[in-house]
Amino acid sequence: MSYTLGQLAAKVQGIVKGDANLVIDKLGTLEKATRNELSFLANPKYQSLLEVTSAGAVLVKTEELAKLVNNAIVVSNPYLAFAQLSHIFVPATHNWSGIHQSAVVSLKATLSENVVIAPNVVIDDDVVIAEDCVIGAGCVIGRGVKIGQGSRIYPNVTLYHNVEIGAACIIHSGAVIGADGFGFAPNNGSWEKIDQLGSVVIGDNVEIGASTTIDRGAIENTQIGQGVKIDNQVQIAHNVIIGDNTAIAASTAIAGSTKIGSMCTISGGVCIAGHLELTDKVHITGMSMISNSISEAGSYSSGMGMEPTGKWRRTVARVRRIDDMAKQFAQLKQQVNKFLEKVDK
């Protein structure tokens, strides 16, 4: 679908500089965009690309920047405007409507109007799917699941029994929501399984990445708040609670019964131990190990950043000697104190 530059500007409350009738049919990068593509400048360090870009128009923050290109839309936040406009250029992801003949849908399930059920979907008893939902091919929707209006479930997602998904959610392929949490009681050298009696409740406008797993609660529910964004291959254990609008990057693992506040950002590869509490607006950098609760907002890191291998080996060697060095320092401190006592006398 194509739009004029003026139409796009109206959608993001921007001001056109240049040809408002220029037809835009695609979004692109400053480096590779062509005459009928719209790009954006969000990071000032790429400003030099404005002078060489072939993009038909660019989203920019100021009128001064707009003068560097033939056509522009001036907006207060170009990156946000780009995100908003991306919604209208999304290509169709399915070419069927209604319920595919190969789907297996329980007679006890309730499907609202305009629901799309793709091939080979299985929908169990007492499932409730609201208006305008799309369930991708090969999904399994367990007994008693509820899915809110306008949610999109991509192919091969499994929703275990009694899971609740809010409105306008996106769940990507391979995600498993509501599997048993890792609960076992020791029993004379073996393990007795603890049946997981809770479920998973997910708020509105949540996005869950491919192959991410969210375990059901042991007794109470695992809870994912409104607007939470979860990347691919994230593990969220039983009874975890995640506050509204928190974002979690790929390969993070969160152990059971941990509570994470609202507006937090957790970078890739982070491990968070169980039974902890992180307050609102906590930012965790990549590969960190969180072993204690965090009660003050701010940025937190652990581990060691990259450095040349030779220097890293020397650093590790010194780190391994820290305990001995601390003991030597304590002994030296005692000797100095004794010497100072003699001098005073």
* CA–CA separation, 130 and 178 (whole Å): 20
The conformation of residue 250, written as its DSSP 8-state character, comes to T
Residue environment code for 70-90, b if the CB has 16+ CB neighbours within 10 A, otherwise e: ebbbbbeebeebbeebeeeee
Amino acid at 255: A
Q: What does DSSP assign to residue 99?
A: B
Active site residues: 238
For the chain, helix, strand, coil in percent to 5 are 20, 30, 55
Give me the DSSP letters along 189-242.
TEEEE------EEE-TT-EE-TT-EEEPPSSSPEEE-TT-EE-TT-EE-TT-EE
Alpha-carbon distance of 302 to 293, in angstroms, equals 14
Contact by Cβ (8 Å): 235, 253: yes
Tokens of 194: 């603890």
